[in-house]
Amino acid sequence: MDRPLTQHIRPDREPLTLREYEQVGGYQAARQALQAAPRDVTDQVLKASLRGRGGGGFLTGQKWSLVPPDDGSGQPKYIVANGDEMEPGTMKDRWLLEGQPHQLIEGLLLGAYAIQARVAYIFLRWDYKLAARRLQQALAEAYAERLLGAHILGTDYQLDMVLHTSAGRYMCGEETGLLNAIEGRRANPRNKPPFAVTCGLWGRPTAINNVETLCCIPHIVQRGGDWFRSLSRSPDEGGTKIYGVSGRVRHPGLWELPLGTTARELLEEHAGGLRDGYVFRGLLPGGASTDFLVAQHLDVKLDFSSVEKAGSRLGTGTMVVLDDRTCPVGLVLNLMQFFARESCGWCTPCREGLPWLARTLQALEDGQGTSADLDLLDAHVQTIRMGHTFCALAPGAMAPLGSALKYFRRDFERHVADQRCPWRAP
C-alpha cells in the first residue's frame, strides 16, 4: 500500500536530513513545478480532489483558486501552514512535523508558488518543542541550499519562510484567530466576509492550510492528481488519510490509510478492538468537536461526505472511542470544560453559554441535576450554532453534547433519577 506521507518517517530517530530527503525524491516536485506555470500546480491539486485535512474539508485547489492574481502593486501575498493542533484527541500533525519536516517545507513552498506568495509562515503549537527544533534545522538546511530565499533553484522566484511559535490557545487554530496572533494581536476571530484568501495577514491575500494537507502537495505534483485520487476508496475525494484512535483500545495510535477506510476496519483491525472487559458504545470520529457515531455507523467510510451523511464530520480523522465503563456525561463535561476555558470571550453565546453548560453538566455528575437541566442542555444545543457566534468554537462544542443527548439520553436521565453518577462508586 502507498503511504506517501509517512513511508520515510523513522520512529525514535532523527528525521531525514535534506540530503537524505533528496535521495528519496524530496524537492523533485519543487524542481518540476518551478519550471512550469504556477497555475499548473493548482490544476494538479484540483485534479487530485485534495480536501483540507484540518477539519473543514474544503477543496485545497479551489481555495488557492480564490486567491486573486497579482494586482501590480508589489504588495506581498502570504501562505500559512496551520500547525496549532490543539483539538483534544488529535496529534496527527505532530507525527509529520517531527518525522519529516522537509516534506512540509516543500509542500508549503509549492503552495506559495501556486498562489505566488512571497512570505510563508509555519504556525506551530507552543508545546511542540521537538517539532520546532527540527523545523528550524530543516529551514536552515533549505536556506543554505537555495531552496528558500532569493532565486530559488536558479529561478526568479523568491520565498521567505518563517516559523511562528504560538502563545498556546485553542483559538489560535481558528484561521482568523491565527491571523490575528501572527500580527501580534489577541487571537479573536474576525468577521467574515472578507475571507482570508482576499483579505488576510495585514489586509493582503492569504491562503491557510493544515500541515497534513500541505504534506500531500509534493506527492501530487510529482506523481499527478490522478495517481493521488487512485489512493482513495472514495471516488470524489483523493489520497490517503492519517487516522488516529484513542481510548480503551488495545493499540491506540496513528495509521496512514486510504481515505474512505471504514470505522470498523480502523477500530478492529488497526487499533485491535477494545481491551478485554470493555464494550464499544460510540466514537467521536474526528476529535472533540464532532458528533458521536454509534455501532450502527461502524461500516461508514471515514471520508468527508460519508461521515457527514451519517450525521457527524470527519474533522481531523482522529477517533476518540467511548466504552461502557466511561460515563458519557463525564466525558462531555470534560470536553465542555476545555471549550469553556479556551473561549476567547469575544461573543456572548461562547463566553457565557459554555461555562453555564459546564456547570450544568457538573451538577448532573455531582447528583444535583434536575429534569429541567436536560431541557436547558437541549435548548443550548439548538441556539448555540453557526450564524449565532463569531466562529465555530462554541458550535463545535455543541456537537458532542447534542449527539450524546441523542444517543445516550438514558444515561443523562439516570443521573437525575439516581441523584448521582452511575459510574461512580456509591
Cell of 207: 491562503
Element (H, E) at 221: helix 211-223
Provide the 3-class DSSP secondary structure of residue 173. Answer: helix
Q: What are phi and psi of 274, to 5 degrees?
A: -75, 155
Residue 387 has a CB neighbour count (10 Å cut-off) of 5
pTM for this predicted structure: 0.96
Q: What pLDDT does 72 receive?
A: 78
Instruction: Report how far residue 170's alpha carbon sits from residue 84's, in angstroms, rounded to the nearest whole number.
Output: 8
Domains in the chain: ranges and CATH: 18-230 (3.40.50.11540), 240-323 (3.10.20.600), 328-418 (1.20.1440.230)
Element (H, E) at 55: none
pLDDT surpassing 70 at residue 302? yes
Q: What is the pLDDT of residues 134-187, one digit of tens each?
A: 999 999 999 999 999 999 999 999 999 999 998 888 999 899 999 999 999 999
Q: What pLDDT does 71 receive?
A: 78
Using 50, 70 and 90 to split pLDDT, how confident is the model at 216?
A: very high
Q: What is the pLDDT of residues 394-412, one digit of tens each?
A: 999 999 999 999 999 999 9
Instruction: Report how far residue 215's alpha carbon sits from residue 210's, in angstroms, rounded to the nearest whole number.
Output: 9
Q: What pLDDT does 4 receive?
A: 97
Mean residue pLDDT of the chain comes to: 96
pLDDT surpassing 80 at residue 1? no
Q: What is the pLDDT of residues 134-149, one digit of tens each?
A: 999 999 999 999 999 9
Q: Could you tell me where the DSSP H helices lie in 6-91?
A: 18-23, 28-33, 38-48, 60-65
pLDDT surpassing 90 at residue 426? no
